[in-house]
Structure 1
């Protein structure tokens, strides 16, 4: 069984258990959702995963979704608002995994179940996220494998210091550091995990370095912005890897001459749906076997992109998997 099939089966089990094994939550239950940035299409998919899980488990629940825009103070305020309007579950994509702890503690003291998704959140009841260390390692192992002789100048195009990004960079560094022929010429540029940031920081890096052999971008929007910077400056001597496996990058991977060559794919829909299902279980006294659930990434490359379907969002997949033997 594939990693995705195991994941979807686990989601299905959680959802069907939630529907049949526990009573329905009270009518008009309130759910608060706060994410790093609604400008990132990744979070549109996580939000759909949450919404579909809500429809399955708590169909009369009211959902409030907010964008923190990677601003810790703003996210604190959003959690305060969720507490004030009586949320029963807060779905938290933390801007800072440690600094958010006081807000998480306050919500839990108010009797609210706090569920982290995509990134860690200190003090949350449970967190579901990609194994980001492995995602960074896979993307950077591709770099090692495709540099002639395993040697060259590599850029790590960084992002906001949320746990997912810190872990990806750590995984990448571990792989690259095992190869003395690889020189990491830059790793401190925060491109804000966005296409615009990738373009701006990428332009600066390409102006600074006359030759680069490979770039690891911490997510797909950053990689796309970096590629745009390269096109504008007529630079094509390097290739790019990233993390997400987004529809835009899946398309780029299939295009002849694309600089983006690989991305460690996530399952934002399945991740968020599973996180909400676990949150419902916690509300009803069912403690998860582990406070952190890690989902394995899958490396998508220009060589295997033809068969890759990015970010599936069909809720019928969950039900079909749940009824299979």
Structure 2
């Protein structure tokens, strides 16, 4: 079993998260009467982002009197101009805080600054955003490293592997980096493709994996940057009559977990994320900022956990 570098140690991050949680619980805040949230995520067709939005609303309702919460929820479709307009709209509608899953890390600093100048905290969730007041994400390097280390173990540390990549946001870049570092430890594993973009969707996974199987029909392992693309990749394998490879992923999506239990599944497992917890922490931090409180922490990384068919009963999934 491999070890992560010290700067990526999930044990340290677990302590980091626990200290964040304790800090949140320790604060006794004056309750506001009403909260309006502006939430811009990447893809509302992905259940992950729906769970994130639900977590944000649930935490906001727990913080204000009489559950008086309004959420303005938009999907950017990874489009910078569209997401900029969404954040501008939040500002014009005088939301109390903004949660953003940024399409590009450094594309929104100016509009984020405009929001902050109006007293609106901006929280980066799922991916980083330059200029945000605080950031809450999965420890994506650790998630990619974990999934690909499990994949390597399953392959007995040898064979041909492909990475099904995605949009160039920080979370995906870090997952791929973690995967590559894990696989690089095993000389008998050959990474033969890593730059094909699935778009992070089931349709993109199907199309990309169909191309991969045409070009590399004898691969043994696949790492997908998220579960929707992994499910599409599995569909491509089924359509091609291929059962000589397995797929590791990141997310913990209900549809992936359900498919993981099937007798004919090609899915090895997934490094699960916690989208609701991520959003809950972000809303709490934004709420504290609204009340003039200084944040003890400005970046929280939530470790991923490996879920497969063997440990599914004991796993916490969203």
TM-score (norm 1): 0.88
Corresponding residue for 2:242?
235
Matched, 1:76 2:84: yes
Aligned to 2:213, which of 206, 209, 221?
Answer: 206
| Selected match of 1:306 from 298, 302, 313 | 313
Q: Deviations over 1:96-121 (max 9, x none)?
A: 11122222122112221001111111
Match of 1:174 in 2: 181
Maintained 8 Å contact 1:76/1:100: yes
Kindly indicate whether the alpha-carbon contact (under 8 Å) linking 1:133 and 1:168 is maintained by their aligned counterparts in 2. Answer: yes
Paired position in structure 2 for 1:267: 274
User: After superposition, what is the alpha-carbon deviation per residue over 1:128-160, rounded to whole angstroms, capped at 9, x for unaligned?
Assistant: 111000000000001111113x11111000000
Q: CA contact under 8 A between 2:16 and 2:300: conserved in structure 1? A: no
1:36 counterpart residue number: 42
Q: CA RMSD in A?
A: 2.1
Report the number of matched residues: 305
Matches of 1:305 and 1:61 in 2, distance apart?
A: 35
Find out whether 1:191 has 2:198 as its counterpart: yes
Distance 1:189 1:270 in 2: 30
Following superposition of structure 1 onto structure 2, how do residues 256-295 of structure 1 map, counting pairs within 5 Å? 256-295=263-302
1:248 deviates by: 1.5
Q: Residues 202-223 of structure 1, C-alpha deviation per residue, up to 9 Å, x if partnerless?
A: 1111111121010000000010
* TM-fit CA distance, 1:234: 0.5
Which of 115, 120, 133 aligns to 2:141? It is 133
C-alpha distance in 2 between matches for 1:171 and 1:101: 27
Is residue 264 of structure 2 the alignment partner of residue 254 of structure 1? Answer: no
Equivalent residue runs for 1:113-128 within 5 Å = 113-128=121-136
Q: Aligned residue for 1:55?
A: 61
Q: Secondary structure at the match of 1:52?
A: helix
Q: CA deviation at 1:29?
A: 3.8
How far off its partner does 1:10 sit?
5.4
What is the aligned partner in structure 1 of residue 4 from structure 2? none
Matched, 1:64 2:58: no
Distance 2:234 2:15 in 1: 33
Give the structure 1 partner of residue 8 of structure 2. none
2:17, 2:300 within 8 Å by CA — same for their partners in 1?
no
Contact kept in structure 2, 1:38 and 1:44, CA below 8 Å: yes
Contact 1:15 1:53 (8 Å CA) reproduced: no
Instruction: Report the Cα offset of residue 11 of structure 1.
Output: 4.8
CA distance in 2, matches of 1:290, 1:12: 12
Conserved 8 A contact 2:35-2:60: no
Matched, 1:14 2:20: no
1:30 deviates by 2.5
**8 Å Cα contact 2:51/2:275 also seen in 1:** yes
Q: Work out whether residues 217 and 243 of structure 1, in 8 Å CA contact, stay in contact via their aligned partners in 2.
A: yes
SS in 2 for 1:186: strand
Within-5 A mapping of 1:132-171: 132-148=140-156, 150-171=157-178
- Structure 2 residues without counterparts, runs of 5 or longer: 1-10
Segments of 5+ residues of structure 1 without an aligned counterpart are 312-325
Q: Matched residue of 1:264: which SS?
A: strand
In the TM superposition, residue 9 of structure 1 has moved relative to its aligned partner by: 9.3
SS in 1 for 2:206: helix
For the residue of structure 2 that corresponds to 1:156, the secondary structure is: strand
